[in-house]
Structure 1
Amino acid sequence: MKIALFSDVHANLPALNAFFESVDKQNIDAIYCLGDLVGYNIWPNEVIQAIKERRIPTIAGNHDFNIARMSTDNVAAYKTDKNLNKGSISKAFTNEVLSLENRKYLHTLPMHINLEFQLKESKFNLLLVHGSPNKIDEYLFEENENMLSIMENANADILCFGHTHKPYHKVLSTKKSGELKYKHAINTGSVGKPKDNNNKGCYVILDINENASLLNKQSIKVEFIRFNYNIEKAAKAVEESILSNDFAENLRYGY
């Protein structure tokens, strides 16, 4: 089974359309979105509509959660007054343009999706979250030393998430009852706002075949797909709006 996973579109319609063109060529069996459809660009309605039209199972990202409830800024989420101001403007813009129907859609998005697999040699759980199993806006960076504990507490053998916009695949080993097993932590990167110094959009294909096993760390295949899109169209849309021009530069340079 080939599963496409993507996250953090952030109202970037040109990037989303390019993602669809790419993923449609991959012969996938299932597709899931790990949240943050809105924020930072001018097309929140169009992005949501595209997701709805394709009937893509989607979980809530922190931006989706907050915009759905028209919440005010969480000051702790921003490190400087400048960033707070940029974030405030982005929220205000999105709240102003978002349709009532699409706000209701965001409000009903689930927080997690859990898939259980029973294969030849393994039974395991695939857990899809936005930030972490514990909190929608918790950052799980690759160097996180508590990753194994977080996954075990969540009963996740494969944990897939976004939020940091920095893709990686980390294999963790655990030994119980004398048996060595492997868990997989996978950050899908970002379709519409990469932050790993690569301005191409990013998504993941997770390949789980009938012989996939937690006993063999090589048996679960993870492929990161990078794709080009019309970055200038997305960047200029930001510059021609009330949004911060810094968001346009973020798109151009991938940070």
Structure 2
Amino acid sequence: MRIALFSDIHANLPALEAFFADLDQRNVDMTYCLGDLVGYNIWPNEVVNEIKKRNIPTIAGNYDFGIGRMSNECGCAYKTDHDKSNGNVSISFTNEIMKPTERQYLRTLPAHIRVEYQLNEDKLNLLLVHGSPRKINEYLFEDREEKSLLRIMEHADADIMCFGHTHKPYHRVLNSGLDGGNSHFRHAINIGSVGKPKDGDPRGCYVVLTIEGNTSVLDRNSIQVEFIRFEYDVEKAAKGVEESPLPNEYADMLRKGY
């Protein structure tokens, strides 16, 4: 089973179109979207409709949650007054151009998707969230303390947990079967961002997860996680920002991947 996972498009239609073009060559069995379809660019309605057209199972990101309710709060953790001011412009602009049908779609997106596999008489739980199982806008960065990350996954009964929100991809394998017990490997996978990368690489990013018939929580190497980077027309997306009421700084972020 080859599963494609993508997230954090943030109204970047050129990036989404390039993602689909790349994905169509990958021969995947399932595709899931982990949210944040809107915000920060000029094509929120078009992005929603592309996702709907393909019938892709999708969960709500924090931005989707806010815009779906026509809130002036996106749940973003802006660190400075400058960032907060720019963010307010983005929220206001997105609310202004969002159409009723597309807004209703955002409003009704589920919070999580859980998929349970039965392999080798073992259960394998795949949990898809936006920020974390605890909170839609919780940031799970790569340097999260191992005990904390394990506790989150154990409480959620997640053997494989995929998430976005930070826009910085990584894969960590954690062993929750220590202290004399059998190994029980859990995989925490941040799938990066299709439309607003923040890891210094402006290319879009998504993950293909491969689960085989012999995949087991007892074998740390029995699942494959492939991070795929793809080129897209960054300049078109950046100019879309610059020709709109959105802050020009958002265009620079797209060009430099921060």
**Which range, TM-score by smaller chain?**
over 0.9
Q: Which amino acid aligns with 1:26?
A: R
Within the candidate set 150, 155, 178, 1:148 is matched to 150
2:257 alignment partner in structure 1:
254
TM-superposition CA deviations, 1:128-185 (whole Å, max 9, x none)? 0000000000000011111100000111110000000000000001216721110000
1:160 alignment partner in structure 2:
162
1:7 and 1:34 in contact (8 A); partners too = yes
CA distance in 1, matches of 2:58, 2:205: 17
Q: CA 1:121–1:75 in structure 2 vs 1: closer, same or farther (change >3 Å)?
A: closer
1:73 and 1:87 in contact (8 A); partners too = no
Match of 1:46, SS state, is helix
1:62 alignment partner in structure 2:
62
1:194 and 1:200 in contact (8 A); partners too = yes
2:186 alignment partner in structure 1:
183
2:209 alignment partner in structure 1:
206
- 1:100-115 correspondence to structure 2 within 5 Å: 100-115=100-115
Q: Which amino acid aligns with 2:123?
A: K
1:2 and 1:208 in contact (8 A); partners too = yes
1:75 and 1:84 in contact (8 A); partners too = no
* Cα distance, 1:75 vs structure 2: 8.4
CA distance in 1, matches of 2:85, 2:105: 27
1:205 and 1:224 in contact (8 A); partners too = yes
Unaligned runs of 5+ in 2: none
State the identity %: 63
* Cα distance, 1:230 vs structure 2: 0.1
2:13 alignment partner in structure 1:
13
Within the candidate set 148, 163, 171, 2:173 is matched to 171
Match of 1:114, SS state, is strand
TM-superposition CA deviations, 1:13-53 (whole Å, max 9, x none)? 00000000001100000000000000000000000000000
* Cα distance, 1:192 vs structure 2: 0.1
Of the structure 1 ranges 118-127 and 244-253, higher mean CA displacement relative to structure 2 is found in 118-127
CA distance in 2, matches of 1:32, 1:183: 20
1:95 alignment partner in structure 2:
95
CA distance in 2, matches of 1:62, 1:156: 21
CA distance in 2, matches of 1:219, 1:199: 31
Aligned alpha-carbon RMSD (Å): 1.2
CA distance in 1, matches of 2:236, 2:75: 31
* Cα distance, 1:77 vs structure 2: 2.4
1:86 is aligned to 2:79 = no
Q: CA 1:75–1:224 in structure 2 vs 1: closer, same or farther (change >3 Å)?
A: closer
Q: Which amino acid aligns with 2:231?
A: N
CA distance in 2, matches of 1:37, 1:9: 5
2:241 and 2:247 in contact (8 A); partners too = yes
2:5 and 2:32 in contact (8 A); partners too = yes
2:238 and 2:250 in contact (8 A); partners too = yes
Q: Which amino acid aligns with 2:151?
A: S
2:66 and 2:74 in contact (8 A); partners too = no
* Cα distance, 1:124 vs structure 2: 1.3
1:121 and 1:213 in contact (8 A); partners too = no
Of the structure 1 ranges 62-71 and 121-130, higher mean CA displacement relative to structure 2 is found in 121-130
Of the structure 1 ranges 112-121 and 220-229, higher mean CA displacement relative to structure 2 is found in 112-121
Q: CA 1:76–1:102 in structure 2 vs 1: closer, same or farther (change >3 Å)?
A: closer
**Could you tell me the TM-score, scaled by structure 2's length?**
0.97
